[in-house]
Structure 1
Amino acid sequence: MPAMSRLGQQRCRRVATTSSPIHKPSFICISPSRIGTRPFLNRAAMGRDPSINGTSTHLVPIPRFGSAYLKPFQEDLVALLHPQARLIPMASEETNSKKKKEEECIINCLPGDLVERIFLRLSVSTLLRCTEVCKQWHKVIRDPQFITAHLEQAPRCALLFFPQESVHGKPYPSDAIVFDEGWSQSTVAVPVIGPDDFLCGSCNGLLCLYTKASTIKIANLATGECLHLDKPIKNLKGDHFSFYRFGFHPVTKEYKVTHFLGEHHNNSQGTFNVIQVYTLGSDKWKDVRSSEDLSLSCVKNSGVVNTDGAMFWLTEDAEASWKHAVISFDLSEESFARIQLPDSTLGGYRRYWITEINGKVCIATAEVHQHWPRMLSGKLQIWTLCSKLESSWSQMYSLRYTHNYLPGPHFVHWDKIMMQSSLGDLCSHELFGKGCGTKLSKRVKLLNFSPHKPDNVQSFICVKSLVRLDAYKKVRIVHGSKQQGGWGLKKWEAWERDICGVENVWKKVYKLERNSLAVAQHLATAAKMVLQRVPDEVTRQQIAMEIDQTLQHLPDFSDQHRRPQRRLNWVAWKRDDEKLAARVNRLKDITKAMGKVADGIHSALSDMLNHLQRISKDAAEISNES
């Protein structure tokens, strides 16, 4: 090992001479020469730092405060620095001065760029725990530049949203499922989504939610922070969640909520020429008027996407070949523009969707049933916008009809497309090829969302970020731990009782399983104790073997795991309910097996008594003969 620096030797001598048990931080042994070979710290930074000379070994002390939070991260931190780094527990003297505490903090002993690169590799949930370790870590992680850098590296997820609806007279709350890059799905409910909320958009880890109250809720998916904005017009007749959208401009760094204000709302069919815009951090809504009337039904049925600082949606255009055109709204200049669709002939009764694939605006179209306008019946074509100024498009995919529904607005994630069937199955297909030669392969069933209606399911792109909402102080911040979420309403009392009832049944099943095994094993033990009085070795072994074979037919209940403490989402709750039904059936099998055990033990004891009676009879006959 390289020679220890003078500062490190002094600290070690100081530690060795103290005997105070009050403050006992640990130390991390780090060799800067080895750190320099890692990508976290370049050699230029090593040359600027006089404490890093490539030859000395430094003992980096870990502060005592926050040790409960720090312990899970010590091994991760050391592993990121170098796999050969090791923790060396040592003792140090008690220190009360603020200067010494700052010197002992690991954040001051490591180069700043190295610490940031380590934090950039951690998930949002881990970083939130790191903020409670010490003030220095909190300052680094909450820095706006670090939040932006972490957001740029955050992996994209697919968020599947189920809006609140009533099926066969039973209300079902709003819910969401998050898929990661490996298509693994979340099992717990999203805390910031209330049972009556509707999702209007997702941007940089923030969700825009339409509530039944007089507010629009902006919530961070990962941190749980949320704020409430007053709606531009309270109790507006015919208002709909699909008329609210959420966007972000990458240059101005502004988040904006838009509201498409219609002239009239006759079954949500009508026109509008005003968009009401709210910029987060401001104190009022702003009206932006269009030079033409635009279709409100297209906004509701075809969707709205936010790309490169602009919102895009479809409107009706009787003179165009597709009978539609694209309208863009620049979030910075707050201006409108019209984009013509491809000049090609499309036949049949069709439906159109606007979506975003790999950061580009795309249009999807397919023939649909005339009586069921949301159900696909022909090929699905997807066109991508090549030039906004020239209104040029190119055909990206042409897919043969496979399923009935598309979960808009974002139904293409990574290299796969999500489709729904009328039976409630959500499947993913891998896209193979481009243009007219596109084929679907590797069909994978993701989940079954019944009894939710397939034409109501929505799909969004989302990330998990550290974007803070407390910067917008003109609105009220509500942290996740203080939210009631709407579950206290009377309409959800029956739903809550069902969840509590399921948990109680699980507890009873677990208890009955344990008791059944205990009783069976107790009976077997008692029977074997009685068998010890059987004088015949062969008979004793035979009966004991029969009892053991009977016990082997009992199920093994070593899988009695702890129940989840957080609320499950709908799909996970449905699977849990199916597992419970299977477990109850399994418990019935236990009862049958217990009967077999009792019969086996009873048979063994009967054989033993018969054997003893025969021995007694034989002994009596021998006694009489003698």
Structure 2
Amino acid sequence: MISDLPGDLFEDILSRVPAISLKRLRSSCKRWNRLFNNKEFARKHLHKAPKQSFFLTVTKDYYIYLMTINHRGIRSIQSKGELSPIDCERIIISEVFHCDGLLLCTFDNKTRIMLWNSFTGQTSWGIQPFCTSHTYALGSYQESRYGNCSYKILSYKDDSVHEFAIYEINSNSWRILDVVNSNSWWWILDVIPDFKLLYTCTYVSLKGKTYWFASDSKDEQLDMFLVSFDYTTERFGRLSLPFNCPSGFPRDATLSVVSEEKLAVLQHNNTWGKEIWVSNEIDGTNEVSWRKVLTVNDPKRDIWFTIARFLLNEEKKVALCCETCIFNFNTTMKKLYVAGEDNIVNLMDYGETSTLGPIILDYVPSLVQISRSVAKGK
């Protein structure tokens, strides 16, 4: 039996098994259960196991659903069920951000923050929001002392005055370089960015870094580009886009990730079409290059304005697009559609929603653990 194998070989084999399959084995024996609770094994599994991609969407009633695309026959979207923390009451979701299988959720107009691994059930409610007008992102970094993978939250507001703050999750100690509030648990970053973040609700995590669209703060005539934040060095970097896009039109493009390995960008090339570009695998040591993989023709519509998000299955050359069609100041309509290189578009009405922007995001289940110093759920 596999459980009779030497420890190192046993761990190496299981670290290459997808998370969904491992969950079925967890109750098989105490040895396996202990292994799944081991942080070092969780780190190995994150890097070695095949990625099983699903997508999450937030409904008009603020429920989070796990979904997948059925590629057999007529393409369709299938629900895998609702996701809900076991230790919380009914709450109003403001934002959801995904990194390494962890979900960073803000609730009740950003007055509460929860860090949640919906796969293992772990939650943390012990994080004090920095400011209700800020947006939050989650990223990973390598601890300098032991080389372990830990996590930080970046809080930011980018308008006429740049405000960035860091919250270290896996530590009981807090560093404050610039005290804004004597009771603050946040560390203010000592940076003066030379950029302005654009359309800040479109941002993604890839290999621990966070990426946004941005424009040059000194020369607004320059095309927009991508900005990344490295949670290890706590520095920002720039990446070029594969197309020219004036910084005054940030909604002409949107950002996504592919298989937790690559970036993808979607550009509106005209009124009815979109082009999707995919980067090479980004590992922090190579330059970014792009190639166009898909052109999507939008379903015909009669609307005032749309905000698009998308997810891409690069292997099958199929894109899931989500748009909010704004009819007036009070009513919006979400539309989901699946489109492929065959130009067959399967359109699904998603219903009215009270939120301005649609929330869909790529989700890969993982065994990543939340620090016990802040975790309050099992």
Q: TM-score, normalised by structure 2?
A: 0.71
Deviations 1:128-166 (A, max 9, x none): 565445433323333334333433314332323226x5x
1:242-257 alignment runs, 5 A limit? 243-249=135-141, 253-257=149-153
* Distance (Å, rounded) in 2 between the aligned partners of 1:353 and 1:126: 33
Q: Give 1:224 deviation, angstroms.
A: 1.2
Q: Larger strand proportion, structure 1 or 2?
A: 2
Alpha carbons of 1:336 and 1:399: their partners in 2 closer, same or farther (altered >3 Å)? Answer: same
Q: Does 2:337 match 1:430? A: no
Structure with more relative contact order (C-alpha pairs < 8 Å, separation 6 or more):
2
Q: Does 2:368 match 1:467? A: yes
Tell me which residue corresponds to 1:141.
Answer: 36
Q: Is the 8 A contact 1:361 1:384 kept in 2?
A: yes
* Distance (Å, rounded) in 2 between the aligned partners of 1:398 and 1:138: 43
Q: Is the 8 A contact 1:407 1:458 kept in 2?
A: no
Greater Cα shift, 340-349 or 454-463:
340-349
Instruction: Find the residue that maps to 1:247 and give its secondary structure.
Output: strand
Q: Give 1:478 deviation, angstroms.
A: 2.5
Tell me which residue corresponds to 2:178.
Answer: none
Deviations 1:77-112 (A, max 9, x none): 7xxx7xxxxxxxxxxxxxxxxxxxxxxxxx4x5544
Q: Give 1:246 deviation, angstroms.
A: 1.3
* Distance (Å, rounded) in 2 between the aligned partners of 1:348 and 1:259: 24
Q: Does 2:113 match 1:216? A: yes
Deviations 1:266-320 (A, max 9, x none): xxxx2442321122212432211332364355313xx122224422212233746
Q: Larger helix proportion, structure 1 or 2?
A: 1
Q: Give 1:225 deviation, angstroms.
A: 1.1
Q: Which amino acid aligns with 2:170?
A: G
* Distance (Å, rounded) in 1 between the aligned partners of 2:69 and 2:8: 29
Tell me which residue corresponds to 2:275.
Answer: 381
2:58 to 162, 165, 168: 162
How many pairs align? 333
Q: Does 2:223 match 1:327? A: no
Tell me which residue corresponds to 1:530.
Answer: none
* Distance (Å, rounded) in 1 between the aligned partners of 2:364 and 2:7: 26
Q: Which amino acid aligns with 2:352?
A: P
The gaps in structure 2 that reach 5 residues or longer are 175-185, 326-332
Alpha carbons of 1:256 and 1:160: their partners in 2 closer, same or farther (altered >3 Å)? Answer: same
* Distance (Å, rounded) in 1 between the aligned partners of 2:14 and 2:287: 43
* Distance (Å, rounded) in 2 between the aligned partners of 1:345 and 1:124: 39
Instruction: Find the residue that maps to 2:31 and give its secondary structure.
Output: helix
Q: Give 1:197 deviation, angstroms.
A: 2.2
Q: Does 2:51 match 1:174? A: no
2:122 to 225, 242, 265: 225
2:268 to 366, 384, 394: 366
Superposition RMSD in Å: 3.9
* Distance (Å, rounded) in 2 between the aligned partners of 1:150 and 1:474: 22
1:282 to 167, 171, 184: 171
2:257 to 336, 356, 366: 356
Q: Give 1:220 deviation, angstroms.
A: 0.7
Q: Which amino acid aligns with 1:225?
A: Q
2:83 to 160, 178, 190: 190
Instruction: Find the residue that maps to 2:228 and give its secondary structure.
Output: strand
Deviations 1:469-505 (A, max 9, x none): 2xx23324123xxxxxxxxxxxxxxxxxxxxxxxxxx
Q: Which amino acid aligns with 1:136?
A: R
Q: Which amino acid aligns with 1:330?
A: D
Q: Which amino acid aligns with 1:429?
A: A
Tell me which residue corresponds to 1:532.
Answer: none
Q: Which amino acid aligns with 2:233?
A: E
* Distance (Å, rounded) in 2 between the aligned partners of 1:392 and 1:118: 32
Tell me which residue corresponds to 2:353.
Answer: 452
Q: Give 1:227 deviation, angstroms.
A: 0.7
Q: Is the 8 A contact 1:175 1:195 kept in 2?
A: no
Identity of aligned residues (%): 18
